[in-house]
Structure 1
């Protein structure tokens, strides 16, 4: 079967741009007739075709948009509305055009006879494998509403944690940028005001003061290169944030720093236990749950450990035995999971651990912010003080020579 991309006009007068698998164009036209849509254009897509730069730059729903969509869909299903009708209602309720296009495409694909999980799987950038798998299991068990509610709650919890992490790192980052800005201002505009005073006395002033004046000269001579480098870093950061799928490098760096390594450990344990709880409580088997957990853990060194744990579990070992062997999470976490396994309440035990580590992570983030802020402020103050003392010592040395 080939994949066709089409543009059509719905009975309500809305433009729909979507793709579907079909034997030929006639099947696409028949599908559009069934959903009472008027075809505008249809073309066959090339297998393995990559997204164009235009598509990449097109606004897409963010994680919070998808979370809001999940919450609204769960509420409609809870109210007794069918899935097909719920999607149609959401297209009428939503005002953001890019999100409307997504929901319309989901509605069209669902109307063609596909399962909801397969429809979502066509958008891997927006609906990760863990989302799709939970929907797939829920469709079989008839618990779609409960699964959507669980997904929405977990995504909201994750987003709150992400905002907490960003806010914890934003203040120290701001202070660091401010320190660099103050240093650049002093080197560009303040120190040059005193260069005339030390002319002819450079060989007689202190090495520290001489270093400051030479640093100012070099900075002013290459300020264009510095600006280009800063612009390039900003562009690279935006490009990585816009197009990159993983943040493995940043997480690896944070895991190696003394102030943030404990936070990374807390976050990894929280993510592992919380995701395991959600998947197990929604009927996903342990092997598949571990495979999905592996896809969302951002720490690179955790990947091989998860692979080894999956192999051990498939080989007949208990999860707690595999975790103890490969040291993915702290030892006391393994003990608590072992108790949950023995009592047949592994998901519940993982949930309790996740709640415990969520509190620990919140405390650790608050402590990091409380420490990093004053330390960076002291660093900025010492930097400015050193510059002032260096300049004053140079001027005083010149004054002593003149006297």
Structure 2
């Protein structure tokens, strides 16, 4: 909420100065009046990095947001006003951030602001897509339908995202376990056996010498290993968020074996569902393309959408730039072409999204079924190699002792 640095006078003429939170000067004046003060002057106080709210991602859980939208749609459909509906949901929601935000929005609504304008002051919760669909809903007088469509959209996006996360959870966990086991063996176990082996003059196998050399190098250059790991992480993070290099990272991810096709299908589903939802809610097609380009989360598809927008602006077909691009499947191009010709582009895109969301679900199950034995085999090979490097010379030592 905005903060005001104010100067006010009480009934005895004494000057008071301070800082108070308020959504506007009118609200600030009212608050001070209730405390027996008359506002003389006020100015916005800029929040420092230490006092302002910092959010990583969306601070409201998707489930809480979806429930809020469905409840809001039901209240509006039942004849409850937007202001009262906001008040009811502010008191009912379990999300602290959403509760605080809705309370601020209610104040702005009572001051005469529209819902879309009030929500636009909270971009950390309400995306540009959300605001534009609200604007269209306000203009057409179909706010309940708009909120229901938004709930459906966010629900399907959330389910697709969870399927991708579930597919990647198993290999990620196995990968971390493998790294921890290997690190433990190389840092703690191998040095112990190295001391044992050094007490005997027997020739060590090549595999044992190799593992011991790796262990010695890691122990000698432990800080260097940490420095390299942190440097790689920082460089990858910078490359990932830099637009000029992001397109190459997106290309590599899509071309990866197993996960690449699954990721591509999820992107097509996201692009189709977003574009369809905007068109269905009467957002202009060029604005819909701009919003979809920002939301889709992949620079390659975003570049295709920019070309499609340029094609529309010159009077050509939306589907033309997509026909010869490898990332857009022929099925999608055909459905968009039919939708353009028949005037049912939003319907066709919804059908494309339905198809690829089902494909993501099927591909996720296949990926999980395939990756489990592969990861177990990989873990067995890596750990087994280190264990074998210890066991083989042990037999030689036992034979020497006997």
Q: Which TM class, normalised by the smaller chain length? A: 0.7 to 0.9
From the superposition, tell whether residues 53 and 304 of structure 1 become closer, same or farther in structure 2 (CA, over 3 Å).
Answer: farther
1:304 lines up with 2:300 in the alignment: no
Q: Which residue of 2 aligns with 1:388?
A: 387
Q: Which residue of 2 aligns with 1:137?
A: 136
- Give the structure 2 partner of residue 13 of structure 1: none
Does the CA-based 8 Å contact 1:266-1:361 persist in structure 2? yes
CA RMSD of aligned residues (A): 3.7
Secondary structure in structure 2 of the residue aligned to 1:301: helix
TM alignment of 1:26-37, pairs within 5 A: 27-29=26-28
Q: Which residue does 1:356 correspond to in 2? A: 355
Are residues 1:330 and 2:335 paired?
no
Match among 5, 22, 27 for residue 3 of structure 2 = 5
Offset, 1:351: 1.0
The secondary structure found in structure 1 opposite 2:54 is helix
Mean CA deviation greater in 219-228 or 307-316: 219-228
1:171–1:373 Cα contact (<8 Å) kept: yes
In the superposition, relative to structure 1, how do residues 327 and 18 fare at CA in structure 2: closer, same or farther (>3 Å)?
farther
Checking the alignment, whether the CA contact within 8 Å between 2:207 and 2:389 is kept in structure 1 is: yes
Identify if the C-alpha distance between structure 1 residues 362 and 387 changes in structure 2 by more than 3 Å, giving closer, same or farther. Answer: same
Task: Assess if the C-alpha contact under 8 Å between 1:337 and 1:346 holds in 2.
Answer: yes
Conserved 8 A contact 1:268-1:297: yes
Deviation track 1:205-253 (CA, whole Å, cap 9, x = no partner) reads 22211111222233344556656877x699979x99xxx8999587554
Residues 5 and 45, structure 1, Cα contact 8 Å, conserved in 2: yes
Aligned to 1:152: 151
- Map residues 206-355 of structure 1 onto 2, 5 A cutoff: 206-223=205-222, 251-324=250-323, 326=325, 329-355=328-354
Distance 1:214 1:269, change over 3 A: same
Alignment match, 2:163:
164
Q: Separation in 2 of the partners of 1:204 and 1:19? A: 79
Instruction: Name the CA distance, whole Å, in 2 between partners of 1:62 and 1:113.
Output: 29
Q: 5 Å matches for 1:68-107? A: 68-107=67-106
Shift of 1:394: 2.2
| CA–CA distance in structure 2, aligned partners of residues 157 and 40 of structure 1 | 52
Task: Give 1:27-66 correspondences, 5 Å limit.
Answer: 27-29=26-28, 43-46=43-46, 52=50, 55-56=53-54, 60-66=59-65
1:296 deviates by 0.6
In structure 2, the CA distance between the partners of 1:80 and 1:233, relative to structure 1 (3 Å rule), is farther
Q: Residue 38 of structure 1: CA displacement?
A: 9.7
Are the equivalent residues in 2 in contact too, given 1:106–1:120 (CA < 8 A)?
Answer: yes
Contact 2:262/2:360 (<8 A) preserved? yes
Superposition deviation, residue 109 in structure 1: 1.4
Q: Matches of 1:343 and 1:57 in 2, distance apart?
A: 44
> What is the CA-CA distance between 1:81 and the residue it aligns to?
0.2
| C-alpha contact 2:101 2:122 (8 A) present in aligned 1 | no
- The offset of 1:313, in angstroms, is 0.7
What is the count of residue pairs matched by the alignment?
A: 381
Alignment partner of 1:55: what SS?
Answer: coil
Normalised to the residue count of structure 2, the TM-score between the two structures is 0.82
Contact 2:272 2:349 in 1 (8 A): yes
Q: Is the 8 A contact 2:269 2:357 kept in 1?
A: yes
> Distance in 2 between the 1:55 and 1:335 partners?
46
Counterparts of 1:245 and 1:236, CA distance in 2: 12
Asked whether the equivalents of residues 31 and 112 of structure 1 are also in contact (C-alpha less than 8 Å), the reply is no
- CA 341–378 in structure 1, closer or farther in 2 if over 3 Å, else same: same
Farther off after superposition, 121-130 or 65-74: 65-74
Conserved? CA contact 1:309–1:326, under 8 Å: no
How do residues 104-119 of structure 1 correspond to structure 2 at under 5 angstroms?
Answer: 104-119=103-118
Q: Which runs of no fewer than 5 residues in structure 1 stay unpaired?
A: 8-15
My pick for the range that moved more, 94-103 or 382-391, is: 94-103
Distance 1:50 1:286 in 2: 40
1:357 Cα deviation from its structure 2 partner: 0.7
- Pick which of 361-370 and 215-224 moved more: 215-224
When residues 50 and 363 of structure 1 are mapped into structure 2, their CA distance, relative to the original with a 3 A threshold, is farther
Q: Residues 267 and 96 (structure 1 numbering): CA distance in 2 closer, same or farther, change over 3 Å?
A: closer
Conservation of the 8 A alpha-carbon contact between 1:6 and 1:39: no
C-alpha deviation, 1:202, in angstroms: 7.2
1:32 and 1:315 mapped to 2: Cα distance? 55
- Supply the distance in 2 between the matched residues of 1:211 and 1:285 (Cα, whole angstroms): 64
Partner of 1:12: none
